[in-house]
Amino acid sequence: MVLVPDESRRNTCGERSFWLGVIRFLQAALSTDKALHYADGKMADQKPIEFSQATLKEYREVLGRYPTRQAALLPTLWMAQREFGWISEEVEDYVARLMELPAAHVRAVVSFYTMFYRKPMGRWHLEVCANLPCRLRGAEQILDCLSRKLGIEPGETTADGKFSLTEVECLASCGTAPMLQLNHERFYENLTPESVTNLVDELARRVS
């Protein structure tokens, strides 16, 4: 896979360039046979689609807490995302076989919940709430600032695989709006353009 840093867009407010689109198209085409994902905080070649022994043990424990296999699907998919980095069709099929559920049912659940990634995500995933209270407190400005800083639009990942940016619905922290969630783990609240700029700089340093 070819990784081309989008330096031309960093810290600028210009429009998306034609050449950036061409580069991304070529990257997508070249990466189809060797997808990358970001499990355990690292970019890695795609592993075989099979739970590790530790995750299989965890899966069996989870299964024992639910009355049916179907009821245990969400936590199992969560484990799959942690293990493989994202939920590809191959992962859906693996989970379906493992749980003896119809593949179509697994696919329907994955596509319903936005917390499941259906494509490889960046090392750092910034989810900015754009619901009404956050929007009234400047979420749009925060999103715009992050877009310009990273050189991507919401829904995209930087060419170097470090950052993904997503616009999401309410994350239940309206009292400290505007806010964002990092990697489903940590909230950053009362955001300002300065604070998100500093956050991106700090995260970029951590993976360089």
Query: Which residues make up the interface to ligand FES (CB under 6 A)?
Result: 129, 131, 133-134, 170-174, 177, 179
Distance CA 150, CA 54 (A): 36
- CB nearer to ligand FES: pick between 158 and 173: 173
Smallest gap, in angstroms, from Cβ of residue 138 to ligand FES?
11
Smallest gap, in angstroms, from Cβ of residue 186 to ligand FES?
14
- CB nearer to ligand FES: pick between 39 and 171: 171
Give first-to-last CA distance, the chain, whole Å. 19
- CB nearer to ligand FES: pick between 75 and 193: 193
Distance CA 207, CA 203 (A): 7
Smallest gap, in angstroms, from Cβ of residue 181 to ligand FES?
9
Residue whose entry in the numeric block shows the structure tokens 């939920």: 87
Q: Using alpha carbons only, what angle is made at residue 109 by residues 94 and 188, rounded to the nearest 5 degrees?
A: 105
- CB nearer to ligand FES: pick between 11 and 190: 190
Smallest gap, in angstroms, from Cβ of residue 140 to ligand FES?
12
Q: Give just the sign of the alpha carbon dihedral 22, 23, 26, 27.
A: negative
8: amino acid identity, one letter: S
